[in-house]
Amino acid sequence: MSKFPGVGDAIPDIAMETPEGGSVKPSDFAGSKLVIFFYPKDDTPGCTTENKDFSALKDQFEAAGTRLLGVSKDPAKKHAKFIAKHGLTAPLATDAEEGGLSDALGVWAEKQMYGKTYMGMVRATYLVGPDGKIAQVWDKVKVAGHAEDVLAAARAL
């Protein structure tokens, strides 16, 4: 058994900072389905595409009773610039604190690139049911077609 929460477990209720300086946590969405997508960094090609894809489908997610929340470790001010630059409509949150939601889920993890090991955000998505329990997990996400796959799962839930 994994030490991290998975399908059937409650999503940890850990607060994160919003670009407006407020805070948001999974329980704020109780009674709705929630998609939390974790991505490595604002304004990088894959992350920009992923955020634009989720933003483009936001109305369809809402029609399926599902709210969206994109999460990275980027500071709130950087999120605000990222949102403005690309016209993003999917809300973003900053999970910068040690022991935050990404740590609790195991998506802030050791990564390797060019022979160097470093800590980074794993591109992963969680679909949470209205009861606050994790319904589906996508780990090691490939961006192309991902938002559509998540929307289909949200509709089926």
Q: pLDDT tens, 13-51? A: 999 999 999 999 999 999 999 999 999 999 999 999 999
Q: How confident is the model at residue 140 (pLDDT cuts 50, 70, 90)?
A: confident
What is the structure's pLDDT at 3? 84
**Is 49 designated active site?**
no
Q: Which residues are bridge partners to 93 per DSSP?
A: 71
Q: List the domain boundaries for the chain.
A: 16-156
Residue 150 has pLDDT above 60, yes or no: yes
Largest CA distance in the chain: 45
R_g (Cα) of the chain, nearest Å = 14
The helix/strand count (H/E) of the chain reads as: 5, 9
CB 125 within 8 A of CB 141: yes
Structure tokens at 8: 């059937």
Residue 2 has pLDDT above 60, yes or no: no
First and final C-alpha spacing in the chain: 24
d(CA 45, CA 139): 19
Is CATH 3.40.30.10 correct for 16-156? yes
CB 138 within 8 A of CB 152: no
Q: Considering the chain, what percentage of its residues have pLDDT values greater than 70?
A: 99
Which among 11, 24, 47, 107 is annotated as catalytic? 47
Rounded to the nearest angstrom, the gap between the alpha carbon of residue 22 and the centroid of all alpha carbons in its chain is 17
- What proportions of the chain, in percent to the nearest 5, are helix, strand and coil? 30, 30, 40
d(CA 10, CA 59): 26
For 40-61, letters b (16+ CB in 10 Å) and e give bebeeeebbbbbbbbbebbeeb
Q: Which residues are bridge partners to 11 per DSSP?
A: none
